[in-house]
Amino acid sequence: MATTLRRIAWFMATVLATAAICSADTTEPAVHVLDNKTFKAWSAAQSLALVEFYAPWCVYCKAMAPAFEMAAKTLQEDKIPLAKVDCTLEKSVCDDMGIPGYPTLKVIKDGSFYTYNGTRQESSMVAYMRKHHRSAVTEVASTEFAEFIKSDRVVVMGFFDSGSSALRVLEEVASDFRDEYAFGYISNKLTAKKLGLTAPGLVVYKDFDERWDPFQGMFFTNEVRKFIKARSIPLLGEMSAQSFGTYAKAGFPIGTIFFKGEESRKKLETALLPVAKEFRGVVSFAFVDATFYERHARQLNLEDKWPAFAIQDVAAHTKYPMDQSKEITAEEVSKFVQAFASGNLEPSYKSDPIPKYNSDAVFELVSKQFAQIAFDKTKDALIEFYAPQCIYCKRLAPVYSELGKSLKHNSGLVIAKMNAITNDIPSNEPELDIPGYPTIVLIRANDNKIIKYEGDRSFESLVEFIKANGARPISHAPANIERIHAQVPNASTGLTPKETRHIEL
């Protein structure tokens, strides 16, 4: 009898173990593994998903792995898949996606990719993806109204019926800003009436300034978007390394008020508050403590003299320092901002002096003469943007010098270099947004098309690049220099793309 019971127990254990193994074998993994063959088709099929691009050696990827796995398991309930791509194996995928560092997280929405703006904790990933899974605008019951308008630092609340065109406008705007603000609407007209609003109405609630701002314009998408952006930042807040992104995302030029000492700040706040109100929606105003951010003031071409004022147009890559011989008063700042808004101010560009002699094979370009030389339509211009301390720039120097000597006799070509640390680039062309050093571009004759050089840094490759992309024919003498093979760097540290991919950005 005992033997029979042992056999039955053994048999049942075997059956259960086999079932467990079979179950484990057939269970779909929480995180999908994508490769060159599956990436495009899988991505195109997803209405909402999150993808991690990683490298096995990356310490940040290893640290995030458990949280990513747990988030994937949690989000299976919501049918939101998570996937990962090993960039050391699937190089073409990561190159096509322009992955700058590891780990990089991308949100897929209806087959298109978007930047993931959350943190790397499981709770953050789950909350972020669930937020994008829901409607961008929440319908709020009248009993939930008081709580909802306090649910975030900035809450946008609509007062209209569920089928109204105003709601469609708000939904369109909310899809762009759902990561920054909370959006809701209430169809109870009694609530709107109590607040002195008529439907359709819109109010921005916030935990600063006036606490609530009613929208008084027409319900057009651009008008609503501009209103929300203008009301999402304080009239006279304080800008720091942590809050700069908030001001930049708002999309308005930033009127930067540099101060030293709390007494100075209080006087400036009293004087400039009316000016900030006058130009709201045109220029954002923010205080910056010069004690900690003198370097930022110098970047705006201001001297170490306080208080000081400058306008920084982040989108256009331009800056407008106010004359520091003038006192920072409401009248002077108002005139200065009005001149900027009217297009009557010239941007300021940091520049080295124009060299008295520029007879070397490589032309030493400075900001003051950039447009004249770089955009001369009669010549192709090859320009190296360098930093004196960059080791890769130093390695390139003999090759670039030899290139200049070999091609100097070509009248339709200029080989130039520019110190990008001591000279601003007086152009807002996106192709001249320099990601690292050295960066080499060709500005073509005739149409001034800007073409970035992506090859190795050998003499032969540079010559072939000019021949293939320039508008003017060239001839050259053979170079007496060793071939140098290296990738174009894409970080200010002077590191190459694949070297920087595993650096925390």
The distance of Cα 282 from the centroid of its chain, to the nearest Å, equals 21
Beta strands in 436-480 (DSSP E): 439-443, 450-452
**Contact by Cβ (8 Å): 502, 104:** no
Catalytic residue flag (residue 22): no
DSSP characters over 368-396: GGHHHHHT-TTSEEEEEEE-TT-HHHHHH
Q: H-type helices in 76-121, by residue range?
A: 91-97
**What is the Cα–Cα distance from 271 to 255, expressed in whole angstroms?**
14
Give the pLDDT score at 11.
45
- 236-341 has the same fold as 138-231: yes
Two structure tokens written together for 15: 């059956």
Residues composing the chain:
505
Q: Please check whether residue 314 is in contact with residue 304, taking contact to mean a CB–CB distance below 8 angstroms.
A: no
In whole angstroms, give the CA distance from residue 387 to residue 37: 41
Q: Spell out the residues 6+ positions from residue 313 whose beta carbon is closer than 8 angstroms to its own.
A: 253, 254, 319, 320, 347
What value, to the nearest 5°, has the Cα angle with vertex 326 and ends 322 and 329?
90
Those residues whose C-beta lies under 8 Å from the C-beta of residue 414, and which sit 6 or more positions away, are 363, 373, 376, 379, 380, 381, 382
Give me the pLDDT at residue 492, please.
35
Q: Is the dihedral of CA 61, 62, 67, 69 positive or negative?
A: positive
- Burial per residue of 333-345, b for 16 or more beta-carbon CB atoms within 10 angstroms, e otherwise: beebbbebeeeeb
Q: Give phi and psi for 323, each to the nearest 5.
A: -50, 120
CA–CA distances in Å: residue 18 to residues 13, 15, 24, 172, 316: 8, 5, 10, 53, 65
In the DSSP assignment, the letter for residue 353 is: P
Say what the pLDDT of residue 364 is.
Answer: 95
Bridge partners, 341 (sequence order): none
User: CB pairs under 8 A, 24+ apart, for 270-275?
Assistant: 271/328, 271/329, 271/330, 272/236, 272/328, 272/330, 272/333, 273/235, 273/236, 274/330, 275/330, 275/333, 275/334, 275/337
Is 87 annotated in the active site? no
What SS3 state is found at 76?
Answer: coil
Q: Domain 31-133 carries which CATH code?
A: 3.40.30.10
- Name every residue whose Cβ is closer than 8 Å to that of residue 183 and which is 6 or more positions away in sequence: 136, 137, 138, 155, 156, 157, 158, 170, 173, 174, 177
Residue entry with tokens 């004196």 = 388
Asked if 474 contacts 412 with a C-beta cutoff of 8 angstroms, the reply is: yes
Going along 87-194, which residue ranges are E strands? Answer: 104-109, 112-115, 138-139, 154-159, 182-186
Q: Which CATH topology does 138-231 take?
A: Glutaredoxin (3.40.30)
Confidence (pLDDT) at 479:
60
Q: CA angle, 391 as apex, 387 and 392 as ends, to 5°? A: 85
Q: Count of CB atoms within 10 A of residue 73's CB? A: 14
- Could you tell me which of 286, 164, 152 has the C-alpha nearest to residue 228? 152
pTM of the model: 0.65
**Considering 22, 87, 94, 390, which one is annotated as catalytic?**
390
> What one-letter code names the amino acid at 4?
T
Q: 477 near 424, Cβ under 8 Å?
A: no
- Domain at 363-498: CATH code: 3.40.30.10
236-341: CATH superfamily? Glutaredoxin (3.40.30.10)
| pLDDT the model gives residue 27 | 58
Structure confidence at residue 337 (pLDDT): 97
How far the first Cα of the chain sits from its last, in Å, is: 69
Q: Which of 22, 61, 87, 94 is catalytic?
A: 61
Task: Categorise residue 317: left if φ over 0, alpha if ψ from -120 to 50, beta otherwise.
Answer: left
Instruction: Give the pLDDT of the chain (505 residues) as one tens digit per residue.
Output: 444 444 544 444 444 444 443 444 445 689 999 999 999 999 999 999 999 999 999 888 999 999 999 999 999 999 999 999 999 999 999 989 988 888 999 999 888 898 898 888 898 888 889 888 888 898 988 888 889 898 888 899 999 888 889 999 999 999 888 888 889 999 877 888 888 887 788 999 998 878 888 998 889 999 999 999 899 889 999 998 878 888 888 889 999 999 999 999 999 999 999 999 999 999 999 999 999 999 899 989 999 999 999 999 988 889 999 999 999 999 999 999 999 999 999 999 999 999 988 878 899 999 999 999 999 999 999 999 999 999 999 999 999 999 999 999 999 999 999 999 999 998 888 889 888 899 999 999 999 999 999 888 899 999 999 999 999 998 876 666 554 444 444 433 333 333 333 322 2
Domain spans of the chain?
31-133, 138-231, 236-341, 363-498
In what helix (H) or strand (E) does residue 51 lie, and over which residues does it extend? strand 48-54
- Number of helical H runs and strand E runs in the chain: 17, 20
**Would you list the DSSP string of 204-218?**
EEESSTTSEEE--S-
**Residue 61, pLDDT score:** 92
